[in-house]
A and B are shown apart, each in its own frame.
Chain A
Amino acid sequence: GAVVSQHPSRVICKSGTSVKIECRSLDFQATTMFWYRQFPKQSLMLMATSNEGSKATYEQGVEKDKFLINHASLTLSTLTVTSAHPEDSSFYICSASPISGDRDTQYFGPGTRLTVL
């Protein structure tokens, strides 16, 4: 089955530093990947849609200068949380849909727990 990985799975950083989270589709190609954020006891919130070869599309209220997204290839998207602050502490999840085959299904990564001290 299609597998999406995320790295790191857990990161703790100091306030003011930047953190990069990688999302990879391991056995399929995806022109579009999605980044979600999940606060404790709340639902997944779509942050942005990452498009290979073009700029990401951000949801309303999401600061694009703070959450930098780069979709470098058909198998890799990165989310960089710049100048992280404690309120950015959250669970970040990416998903991807295959270019071919089961395009309607999103495959989710295991998530990255970010803790900003």
Chain B
Amino acid sequence: AQRVTQPEKLLSVFKGAPVELKCNYSYSGSPELFWYVQYSRQRLQLLLRHISRESIKGFTADLNKGETSFHLKKPFAQEEDSAMYYCALKNNDMRFGAGTRLTVKP
């Protein structure tokens, strides 16, 4: 069964500090993984996906099949990065992790 685990419900860092939001998955096939972000009072939106190997708003995420992880990283966090982040795995549908609330303090 496909499953996405985000072990941290809350994560707090200071502005300028590096941040890593953890995501682990279990899936028997080749996964398609995504990170979604939800800013306060806004809709859920796609942040990035592993297929495109892109960097959005300074965030990157590398798929590690050996560790079955897809951690989201940013070297220098900004206050505007404060939001709820969801890791998701796509098969025929989308399975979401529980989400991590990131707070970047000034």
Contact of B93 among A34, A42, A105 (CB under 8 A): A34
The total of interchain contacts (Cβ-Cβ below 8 angstroms) comes to 38
- Tell me which residues across on chain B come within 8 A of A42, comparing CB atoms: 98
Task: Please count how many residues in chain B sit with their CB below 8 Å of the partner chain's CB atoms.
Answer: 18
Give chain B's interface secondary structure class: strand
Binary interface encoding of chain B residues 41-54 relative to chain A, with 1 for a CB under 8 A from any of its CBs, else 0: 00111100101000
A111 at the interface (CB under 8 A from B): yes
Distance in angstroms from B70 CB to nearest chain A CB is 15
Binary interface encoding of chain B residues 83-106 relative to chain A, with 1 for a CB under 8 A from any of its CBs, else 0: 000100010111111110000000
B79 at the interface (CB under 8 A from A): no
Task: Please count how many residues in chain A sit with their CB below 8 Å of the partner chain's CB atoms.
Answer: 17
A98 at the interface (CB under 8 A from B): no
> A105 to B46, Cβ gap below 8 A?
yes
User: Are A44 and B86 also in contact (CB < 8 A) when A108-B44, A110-B43, A111-B43 are?
Assistant: yes
**Closest residue of A by beta carbon distance from B41:** A110
The residue among A36, A93, A106, A110 with the most chain B CB atoms within 10 A of its own CB is A106
Contact of A109 among B36, B43, B95, B98 (CB under 8 A): B43
> B86 to A108, Cβ gap below 8 A?
no
**Closest residue of A by beta carbon distance from B43:** A110
* Partner-A contacts on B (CB < 8 A): 32, 36, 43-46, 49, 51, 86, 90, 92-99
The 10 A-B pairs with the shortest beta carbon distances in the complex, nearest first, are A43-B98, A108-B44, A44-B96, A110-B43, A43-B96, A108-B43, A43-B99, A46-B93, A105-B46, A49-B93
* Partner-B contacts on A (CB < 8 A): 34, 36, 42-46, 49, 93, 95, 104-106, 108-111
